[in-house]
Structure 1
Amino acid sequence: MTSGPSTTETEAPGVPVSRAAPFLAGIWLFFLLEPLAEAWDDRDEPRGLLGIVTTLLFACVYLSLWLGARGGREMRGRPELSRALAHLVVQTALGVTMVVLIGPSGAACSPYIAVGAIMVLPVRQAGVVVALLVMADVVLFRLADAGSPTGLLFGVLAASVAVLGVRTVVSRNHQLLAAQEENAGLAVDNERSRFARDLHDILGHSLTVITVKAELAGRLLDAGSPEAAERARAEVADLERLSRDALADVRRAVTGYRTVTLPEELIRARMVLEAAGITAVLPGSVDDVPTQARELFAWTVREGVTNVVRHSRAHTCEVRLSETGAEVRDDGVGVGSASASASDGPGSGLLGLRERAAAAGATVVTERLSPGFALRVVLG
């Protein structure tokens, strides 16, 4: 009587029940052959006929628990308490009727009632039902002087323990599936955050440079001199190149393989600062920067310089690099990166840089100067 419940799930929502469960559960109904045979021997009497009908009805009610969870449907946890109680009441009433009509052999229904209780009730309530069944069987066999109920009691307890073990395994499997689904959702959220951060870093910097160069080209065209026109053409050529670079960066961000290099960011910083009319004070080399920190420092330079150009109205911007940190400072109005972070909203600006720094075990520090603003990333 234990194989039937072992093929299905009673607690895990959303997990399909095997189509073979009713068949396997039905196999164990052969234990009802004994009371059915006794009822058949008395088929000439009303008691015998009623015993046959009651035994068959009991078997149908037992199987209905499996049939209700098969096909293309799924069990969404245990049944509602009212439905579970109704099922047990009907099953118990039929079992009592079997005992009354057939005698002690009708108590063969006890293991099936225990299995039903384990399947549809919480563990504590199901334990109470099993204990009551055991006591009822002991009392019945003593009153009827029908011998020892040891075999029947063993069947009740063995079936209950087996189904409880199966239910526990199924529940653990469901918890594992739920954890996997949650982890998958977190991975999607992390990827969305990465993409939003990278897209901000790419377009924020590139569009700032393009905007500054477009303004400069417009002013040069307005000047009308041959020298200004020649320089304007050079700025327009840079605009085309920058646009292509930005498009390539966006494509690399989509695939998740985008990287930045510190020397490249220093070159870009000089270019964008000069285009904005800001004096650039940059280090001549990056030899002192640890290899594992260069990508983080490159993002620091990009974020800091972008915000200087956007918000600071500075005359000078200085980038400092060392073995333990990177710093971008300006002599502007002092709103710098803080303003960028506030205006761009969560998931961009300083927040994105802090996420990168935290992943590398570094710290982001901002400081208002007099005048100006400083953005630092410090290792360790």
Structure 2
Amino acid sequence: MSFADKISFGDAERKPSRKRRLLGVSVGMVYLVFPVTDILSGNLTGARAVWAAALLVAFVSSFLATVVANRSFFERSRLTYPLLVVTSVLGVAGALAFGGSWLSLPVYCVVLYGFTLPPLWAVWGVLTSLAVVVGAGLVNRTEADTMIVLGLQVVTLGVLFISVRNTRVLSVKLREAQGEVARLAATEERLRIARDLHDLLGHSLSLIVLKSELAGRLAEGSPQAHKEIADIESVARKALEEVREAVTGYRQRSLPEELDSARSVLRAAGVAAEVRVSGTPLPSLIDGLLGWSVREGTTNVVRHARATRCEIKVTYDGRQATLEIVDNGKGGDGPYEMGSGLSGLHERVEGAGGTVAAGPLPGGGHRLRVLVPAGTEASE
């Protein structure tokens, strides 16, 4: 599975299908048959019927547009709240103008409040809708039974959908927590294996090298024995070097792991994170170097940027890999100075033949940009 596939899969868990969501709310709109019946049966005639039909079409369109615009329980588009306001105004207008079965429009608004607004705001939306139903019913002299039924629907559906949203949010957070626990467990297991390799094989191979050197000095009188001992020493040194490389690989976290960790850290700090990865899988050395860069850049965003949004973009075209971490923070208004972390990163990237650029952006915010050419080796 490529990086992009992995990230898309993670986003899919957080963003339910819009088509499925739209289908679900569309089924509930069957109760609008009663306002439609008012128009078709002649209860509303003339200009009132025309205005009622236009208002109903506008309400349904705005309602569905709000559902589609709401990306997920965690993310809102720029149109979500404006459309929610328009839908609410149309619902109140229909209830006040026509009464009767039109009092059901605020009930539909309650569904949107439950899915879209934070819990406290959603509660206020439910109370406001209840007041609209009661007030519009009294103004239009709607039967008490109808007002009571619709009022109960406002309260019960409001509580239901607020609970559904909270349950969904908790479910996603639980899956993320389980994934983080699994990643931590895997990391701990790799570190344990690395320690064991280093303690067992590293010690034994180092001892073989030392013994071979000693035996070589003792066997200087026998060229053949000296040659064989030198071969043993060479093989032992090579094996020791390979063990050290393996230990380094086990201890190094991959770029996908660092990206997942960055998501969790940024979200915990109240920063909305957007991660985009494109291109083929990275070579191992570049993968580790960009993973280190993501860790350092994310740490700086959380500690110093005072940002609310951060975008992490990784691209690889076969010739060079590019990492960009851009935030909308307000820290560091004066001359930009690299701290020890970025200075260390700069040295690592330069050792791989790459470049690092970091600093504030003209329009506000900060950017860390790392470019690493393919076919180079990072310095240890």
Name 1:54's counterpart in structure 2: 55
Q: Is 1:168 equivalent to 2:169 in the alignment? A: no
Name 2:343's counterpart in structure 1: none
| CA-CA distance at 1:136 after TM superposition | 2.1
| CA-CA distance at 1:174 after TM superposition | 0.8
Q: Is 1:130 equivalent to 2:130 in the alignment? A: no
Name 2:65's counterpart in structure 1: 64
Question: CA separation in 1, counterparts of 2:110 and 2:73?
Answer: 21
Q: Structure 1 pair 195/21, CA: closer, same or farther in 2 (3 Å)?
A: same
Judge conservation of contact 1:210–1:242 (CA < 8 Å) in 2.
Answer: yes
Question: What aligned pairs does 1:273-352 form with structure 2 within 5 A after superposition?
Answer: none
| CA-CA distance at 1:177 after TM superposition | 0.5
Query: Residue 216 of structure 2 aligns to which amino acid in structure 1?
Result: G
Superposed CA deviations along residues 230-256 of structure 1, whole A, max 9, x for unmatched, are 875785686599689989999x99xx9
Question: CA separation in 1, counterparts of 2:97 and 2:141?
Answer: 17
Q: Structure 1 pair 197/59, CA: closer, same or farther in 2 (3 Å)?
A: same
Q: Structure 1 pair 175/135, CA: closer, same or farther in 2 (3 Å)?
A: same
Picking from 107, 116, 123, the partner of 2:112 is: 116
Question: CA separation in 2, counterparts of 1:77 and 1:13?
Answer: 11
Name 1:146's counterpart in structure 2: 142
Question: CA separation in 2, counterparts of 1:219 and 1:108?
Answer: 97
Query: Residue 143 of structure 1 aligns to which amino acid in structure 2?
Result: V
Cα-Cα RMSD: 3.7
Query: Residue 142 of structure 1 aligns to which amino acid in structure 2?
Result: L
Judge conservation of contact 1:202–1:246 (CA < 8 Å) in 2.
Answer: no
Judge conservation of contact 1:42–1:49 (CA < 8 Å) in 2.
Answer: no
Judge conservation of contact 2:212–2:233 (CA < 8 Å) in 1.
Answer: yes
Q: Is 1:27 equivalent to 2:27 in the alignment? A: yes
Judge conservation of contact 1:39–1:102 (CA < 8 Å) in 2.
Answer: no
Length-normalised TM-score, structure 1: 0.53
Superposed CA deviations along residues 237-289 of structure 1, whole A, max 9, x for unmatched, are 86599689989999x99xx9xxxxxxxxxxxxxxxxxxxxxxxxxxxxxxxxx
Judge conservation of contact 2:114–2:122 (CA < 8 Å) in 1.
Answer: yes
| CA-CA distance at 1:26 after TM superposition | 1.0
Question: CA separation in 1, counterparts of 2:75 and 2:237?
Answer: 60
Q: Is 1:75 equivalent to 2:76 in the alignment? A: no
Query: Residue 198 of structure 1 aligns to which amino acid in structure 2?
Result: D
Q: Is 1:95 equivalent to 2:96 in the alignment? A: no
Helix, strand or coil for the counterpart of 2:163? helix
Superposed CA deviations along residues 167-199 of structure 1, whole A, max 9, x for unmatched, are 122122112101111012102211231232123
Question: What aligned pairs does 1:180-219 form with structure 2 within 5 A after superposition?
Answer: 180-219=178-217
Percent identity of equivalent pairs: 24
Length-normalised TM-score, structure 2: 0.53
Question: CA separation in 1, counterparts of 2:83 and 2:23?
Answer: 20
Query: Residue 31 of structure 1 aligns to which amino acid in structure 2?
Result: Y
Question: CA separation in 2, counterparts of 1:92 and 1:31?
Answer: 17
Question: CA separation in 2, counterparts of 1:89 and 1:136?
Answer: 15
Query: Residue 21 of structure 1 aligns to which amino acid in structure 2?
Result: R
| CA-CA distance at 1:75 after TM superposition | 2.2
**Consecutive unaligned residues in structure 2, runs of 5 or more:** 1-11, 251-380
Judge conservation of contact 2:122–2:162 (CA < 8 Å) in 1.
Answer: no
Q: Is 1:37 equivalent to 2:33 in the alignment? A: no
Question: CA separation in 2, counterparts of 1:218 and 1:235?
Answer: 6
Q: Is 1:159 equivalent to 2:157 in the alignment? A: yes
Question: CA separation in 2, counterparts of 1:197 and 1:169?
Answer: 42
Helix, strand or coil for the counterpart of 1:20? helix
Helix, strand or coil for the counterpart of 1:37? helix
Judge conservation of contact 1:114–1:156 (CA < 8 Å) in 2.
Answer: yes
Query: Residue 165 of structure 1 aligns to which amino acid in structure 2?
Result: S
Helix, strand or coil for the counterpart of 1:75? coil
Helix, strand or coil for the counterpart of 2:74? coil
Judge conservation of contact 1:13–1:76 (CA < 8 Å) in 2.
Answer: no
| CA-CA distance at 1:63 after TM superposition | 2.0
Q: Which protein shows a greater Rg?
A: 1
Question: CA separation in 2, counterparts of 1:183 and 1:34?
Answer: 51
